[in-house]
Amino acid sequence: MTKKTVAPVPAPAKTKLPVRQPTIALALGGGGARGLAHILVLEAFDEMGLRPKIIAGVSIGAIFGAAYASGLSGKEIRAHATEVLKKRFDLVRDLISARVRAERRIWNPLSIGSAFLAPDTLLDIILPKRIARDFAHLDIPLKIVASDFYAQEPAIFSAGPLRQAIAASMALPVVFEPVVVGGRVFIDGGLVNPLPFDIIAGEADLTVAIDVSGSPLRRAGRAKPKAWEALFASSFIFERTIIKEKLRSRQPDVYIDAGTSRYQLLDFLKIEEILTAATPAKERFKAQLARVLEAETLEILEAIEPPPPAKDVRRLKRLTRPRLLRRRRSRKS
C-alpha cells in the first residue's frame, strides 16, 4: 500500500499593513509673555505634518491652545499675534499703563481697589475672529486649567463656552480681575498647575509638554529686583517649583523648556525678541519629537502580527485532519 504524500502548506504571504501614526497629547504651560514661544511649537507641528490628538492649556497656553484647536495654523497665529501687539495701539497702551500702575500701587497698597485689566475685555482684542465659541465646535479636544479661588483646587474646563474658560485660566491676581463662572470664582490656572501634562496623560501614545514658566535672572548692574519685578516674578518662582515636583514623579515623553526666562510677565511688545530667543527651543523640539516618534513607530511595527488569510487556515485544517485521525486510531489499537 502506497503512502499518500501531503504537499507542504505554503507560508502565507505577508500583508503590508498601513503603519499607524503615533498620537500626541500636547500641554502648553503658562508664563505670561514668555508663552509667545508656544507659537513656534505650533509652527513645528505644522512643519512636521503632525496634529495633536488633544491639547491642554493654562493661562497663555490656553489662549494659543484654543486658537490652534479652532483650526488656525501656527503661521496664522503668529501673524495675528504680531498684528495685535504691533498695530492695535489700545492694547499696547493698556499693557504699558498696567506696568506703570503696578509699580505705583506697590508703594500705595491702600489704593488698590480693582485689578488692572478685565480678562473678557482683553480677549475681545486679542482673540482671532475664527476662534470657536464653544468647546463642542473645536477641531481638536481641549482642556483648560483654572484655579478655584475658594475651593483652593484646580478646575478643568472641557465643555461649554470657550471664552469664559480662557478668561478664568488667565486671570492672574492683581493684573486681571477674578472670573465668576456658575457661582465659582476663578483665578489664573498656573497657580495650581502651570504645566498640565498630567491631565492628558494616557490620552495619546505620546505626551509633549512645553514649559514657558522661566525663572528670574539677575540684572547686570543691579543688586536686587525692583518691587514690581519681585511681585510678578514671585508667582513664577512657585510655579517653577510645582513643575519641578511634578517632573520628579512623572515625566512627559517630550519636555521642552522654551528658554525665555529673561522676559517679564508683560513683555508682550517684545514679541520678535521672544520668538527669536525661543527659536533654538523649536529646533530642539522638532529633533526630540522626531526621535521619539521613530522609536514609537518601531514599537508599533513590532507589535503588528497579521494573522494568515482565512482560506489558508481552512486548507491547513483539511490537510492536517487525516494525520490527527491516524494518530488517534493508532493509540486505540
Catalytic residues: 59, 188
The CA dihedral of 214, 215, 218, 220, to the nearest 10 degrees, is: 0
State in Å, rounded, how far the first CA of the chain is from the last one. Answer: 19
Task: Decide: 28 and 141 in contact? Cβ < 8 Å.
Answer: no
Map grid coordinates 492649556 to a residue: 57
Partners of 208 in the β-ladder: 26, 254
User: Taking Cα atoms as reference points, which of 120, 119, 131, 96 lies closest to residue 268?
Assistant: 96
What number of other Cβ atoms are within 10 A of residue 224's Cβ? Answer: 9
- Strand, helix or coil at 306? coil
Q: Which DSSP letter does residue 232 get?
A: H
Residues 6+ apart with CB under 8 A from 227: 103, 106, 107
Helical packing angle, 227-249 and 89-106, nearest 10°: 100
Report the alpha-carbon distance of residue 317 to residue 314 in Å, rounded. 5
Write out the three cell numbers for 11.
507560508
Work out the burial of residue 155: count CB atoms within 10 Å of its CB; fewer than 13 is exposed, 13-18 middle, 19 or more buried: buried
